[in-house]
Structure 1
């Protein structure tokens, strides 16, 4: 029988109110934890006995970071909850002294004075020895003086050593006594209490669950991406991990835990545009003051969602777990099993991950890693090189998230064939969406950027023109063994100069690409964006999708002079690429940047 809402009218009067006082961390058990980015929702179960009539339950030691607006009380039993209040616990005044502390301070002061006297005695003894004139003393007397000095100095040195040790021991005892007087520091983090009025129809045990949100708790995603270059199918093994951190003041010991990807958006509404007007300045040469324009602020009085609206819903299984998560010794309940990993949502907006088994996250502010899932994924490998800047070849993978998990943005450790390569960033990836993952350098692909060949000639009968012809050879060599997984797809990026003056002309001869806006660039029903320069090798302006022939930005395509070759290179073979272009300008024109 569930706790019900009180009916209209006051409850019948009883002789006395039964008071019950429980300590949250000792007299209850956490049965559910849901961790969000920046907060967590806790469900804590209490079981206690009530008497017929009015009962007042006081729960002490709730975390100070508890969001009071999010507190909910639910339970099981023949009783009615009619009042819930939450407030801070006023700590008792901290005593500043005690008989033990006073005795220790006195002992310390006496030892310090004794030490000062001993040091002064040593100083006086040394002064006396310095003042003794050996010319006026017999040898026997001088021996007595020296022996007396040694004996007295040794006694004083031993006394100084004992006093210094005593002072240190007393100082440590004083610090320990002061710490005991101050009380445990943990009380500062658990200084809230909840007072709940419960009207019971009969005497017996009832169960009450507190559901509340706390700050100082969060989780973030992390990944291990392992690449097997010898595998033909699903070469990517992705380990999806979560790092959970909390410093809420209470330990989460052996709790069922879920990770939520939903992000709170309190007070974030659709931006409102403010009036934007123009007017003639009073003085063109004087100071001009423009009205400031603000974006994204909600108008005064706009409704802001309450905190409880986000975390008010208790999982339907929470109350059902109340009866099954008590101590098994009471009702002979079967041993608790670790639950399997579950995914409640697959979308990019929010997802819920049920961490398998029971987990403990102490109140230490340190990240604790758990594994969400191990995924085997397909990937398309590609090799990229920009030999004009660096002849080394970069390997990257286009990984498809063919799982039901939403991959949150996080840092990934990348391993290729068992060797650590680098750290990479994984963006937010929805199911069936792909993302790029750099896999470092591949030394087995060698690119040679041969010296640039330059020739200069003149043309024109009346208006002389200088023509500068350039030729650049590039060689790609795939040194992988013949037994490797076939040919590889490599993209080589290069560029030709771009003229910023109408008297300077640039013409790309090889590969024979033309600008989309150039005359004669139309071919068939569309504009020529990519050309086949040799079997298996295609050249295209950078920004063009070679497979579809479509571009990202048609207006900007080729305007920066950047293009690429894309082709396949078989193991133990090589291919050659040719770049040829001409730069023309009026004779004796000095061209900057050539």
Structure 2
């Protein structure tokens, strides 16, 4: 009968499908602004016939429609299935392993405590039975009742105290065990540490040492651009360090991988859009525009001035600038296509699956810049050093924060948005306190007169710019005068000291060249004539 069973099982084992486990190695990652494409490689020994291959060590956050698997010639893939890999998730996480080891130790100690408590409880029962036996049976081994009572009292107290202490110890061990198990459960449920696996059904014509590659898109990764803008002085070119803050919680730690950064995005919906009819309608304007006084519109180009001067600028502070980013241009290649720009970095990188930003400096540029100063004394009496960069499109910039470092000092933070840049990229390098600007109203040349039913007001301002630097400067100065939207309110620009006047928006511009220790004076005067029954606000 034994021989018969062996004969029956033998052909079944030959015909049964074999399951083979293999661990994929993460080779490269192309990170998009939203998402990443991961590529794995590996080898597996396949026997002739069909086999089930389980490939571990891939991300647990996968767009399953994007999975692509390639194998050596002579191997046919019959099916591909993606699963969550809970077992290898525990093995890959050293924290879970450490906690699991602690659970084993605490569980062992808890068993010992329970056993000790059980023995003490049984001892207490034995004492009680011996006491009852001593009180009713004259054949007891304890001859003297007094000694028996003393012995029972002492031993009973000792055993009960031991049981109480063991109970407290057991409770503490149970609490510790529960806490450890909760920590393990939280880590297992953490999406940042969730691994996945692919189950392949393959068929090989003969035994083969096959190679395979896997690629897929995961949505749980991305990068944001940032910059370090450096200038030693206004005579040197502008240094631009292009950086990326990479975040990923794919469940898989990226170790020593080839990294690429792409300005494109994986498109899940590639259906071409269709235009529909565009209908418009009218509506009544119920309220006046913001900033309009009674009978007069105050020009809102103040906002334009403010945006030009201090977009993204914050209060300057010093930073430790040691350990500046080294040049890596020799390790970075740029590939431009119709769908975006890809920066391929030929340096192995580690990026953990912790959803925290990992900053990578991947490109440095040295670009010529034209430096000039800018001031809008209506908004601020500071002079701002601007660096104008042309042909900025060649830099392949993305929107992002920029740290401004001038003459070795951190001066503030700006923001670069290529979508809002025209032909010139203008960067504010900070305020220069050696250029002193004042704007004062000249009371002697300002007046209010009543002529018939009208009131005429004259406003006169004196703007002074003093250059205390050792070299000449070019300064772009801007101011404005108010505009009227009503026919009975007349505004006249009386004096502008040779400004370029834009009558449509009321902007005044001066291009000044100021020598060392020179002071330039600009006189601005305008009049506002309106019915004296009207009150004009904002002047």
TM over 0.5, shorter chain: yes
1:202 to 183, 198, 206: 206
User: Retained in 2: the 8 A contact 1:377–1:401?
Assistant: no
Other-structure match for 2:45: 49
User: Retained in 1: the 8 A contact 2:456–2:528?
Assistant: yes
**Is 1:455 aligned to 2:447, yes or no?**
yes
In the TM superposition, 1:208-219 aligns within 5 A as 208-219=212-223
**Is 1:562 aligned to 2:507, yes or no?**
yes
**Is 1:424 aligned to 2:414, yes or no?**
yes
Distance in structure 1 (CA, Å) of the matches to 2:480 and 2:192? 64
User: Retained in 1: the 8 A contact 2:28–2:38?
Assistant: yes
Distance in structure 1 (CA, Å) of the matches to 2:203 and 2:256? 32
Distance in structure 1 (CA, Å) of the matches to 2:206 and 2:214? 22
C-alpha displacement of 1:266: 3.7
Distance in structure 1 (CA, Å) of the matches to 2:216 and 2:248? 15
**Is 1:21 aligned to 2:20, yes or no?**
yes
Matched residue SS, 2:65:
strand
User: Retained in 1: the 8 A contact 2:38–2:218?
Assistant: yes
Matched residue SS, 1:263:
coil
Other-structure match for 2:536: 592
Specify whether residues 380 and 161 from structure 1 end up closer, same or farther in structure 2 by C-alpha distance, changes over 3 A only. Answer: farther
Distance in structure 2 (CA, Å) of the matches to 1:560 and 1:263? 40
**TM-score normalized with structure 1 length:** 0.61
C-alpha displacement of 1:474: 1.4
Specify whether residues 440 and 109 from structure 1 end up closer, same or farther in structure 2 by C-alpha distance, changes over 3 A only. Answer: farther
Specify whether residues 44 and 17 from structure 1 end up closer, same or farther in structure 2 by C-alpha distance, changes over 3 A only. Answer: farther
Distance in structure 1 (CA, Å) of the matches to 2:184 and 2:265? 42
**Is 1:81 aligned to 2:76, yes or no?**
yes
Residue-by-residue CA offset, 1:273-304 (whole Å, 9 max, x unaligned): 358599xxxxxxxxxxxxxxxxxxxxxxxxxx
**Is 1:400 aligned to 2:403, yes or no?**
no
In the TM superposition, 1:252-401 aligns within 5 A as 252-267=254-269, 269-270=272-273, 272-273=275-276, 340-345=331-336, 350-400=340-390
User: Retained in 1: the 8 A contact 2:392–2:425?
Assistant: no
Distance in structure 2 (CA, Å) of the matches to 1:358 and 1:592? 67
Residue-by-residue CA offset, 1:220-268 (whole Å, 9 max, x unaligned): 11111112224x241x111111111111111111111111111244437
Distance in structure 2 (CA, Å) of the matches to 1:371 and 1:388? 39
Matched residue SS, 1:443:
coil
**Is 1:480 aligned to 2:476, yes or no?**
no
User: Retained in 1: the 8 A contact 2:43–2:212?
Assistant: yes
Other-structure match for 2:427: 437
2:525 to 580, 589, 592: 580
Distance in structure 2 (CA, Å) of the matches to 1:376 and 1:466? 58
Instruction: After superposing the two structures, state which structure 1 stretch, 338-347 or 559-568, moved more.
Output: 338-347
Superposition CA RMSD, Å: 4.2
Which structure has the higher relative contact order (CA within 8 Å, separation 6+)?
Answer: 2
User: Retained in 2: the 8 A contact 1:406–1:430?
Assistant: no
Other-structure match for 1:539: 500
Distance in structure 2 (CA, Å) of the matches to 1:233 and 1:48? 57
Specify whether residues 353 and 238 from structure 1 end up closer, same or farther in structure 2 by C-alpha distance, changes over 3 A only. Answer: same
Matched residue SS, 2:397:
coil
Matched residue SS, 1:387:
coil
Matched residue SS, 2:343:
strand
Distance in structure 1 (CA, Å) of the matches to 2:267 and 2:173? 56
Of Structure 1 and Structure 2, the greater helix share is in 2
Residue-by-residue CA offset, 1:60-83 (whole Å, 9 max, x unaligned): 454331111111111334x13231
**Is 1:222 aligned to 2:226, yes or no?**
yes
Matched residue SS, 1:259:
strand
Residue-by-residue CA offset, 1:119-156 (whole Å, 9 max, x unaligned): xxxxxxxxxxxxxxxxxxxxxxxxxxxxxxxxxxxxx9
- Unpaired runs of 5+ in structure 1? 1-13, 115-155, 279-337, 513-532, 542-557
Distance in structure 2 (CA, Å) of the matches to 1:244 and 1:464? 68
Distance in structure 2 (CA, Å) of the matches to 1:170 and 1:467? 89
Matched residue SS, 2:418:
coil
Other-structure match for 2:124: none
Aligned residues: 422
Matched residue SS, 1:209:
strand
C-alpha displacement of 1:271: 5.6
Distance in structure 1 (CA, Å) of the matches to 2:435 and 2:506? 26
C-alpha displacement of 1:393: 2.0
Distance in structure 1 (CA, Å) of the matches to 2:233 and 2:245? 29
User: Retained in 2: the 8 A contact 1:404–1:431?
Assistant: no
Residue-by-residue CA offset, 1:385-443 (whole Å, 9 max, x unaligned): 22234322223222335584411111111111111111111113799963222222211
User: Retained in 2: the 8 A contact 1:250–1:363?
Assistant: yes
Other-structure match for 2:320: none
User: Retained in 2: the 8 A contact 1:21–1:60?
Assistant: no
Matched residue SS, 1:364:
coil
- Unpaired runs of 5+ in structure 2? 1-12, 88-102, 121-159, 282-328
Distance in structure 2 (CA, Å) of the matches to 1:432 and 1:387? 25
In the TM superposition, 1:180-199 aligns within 5 A as 190=194, 192-199=196-203
Distance in structure 2 (CA, Å) of the matches to 1:477 and 1:224? 31
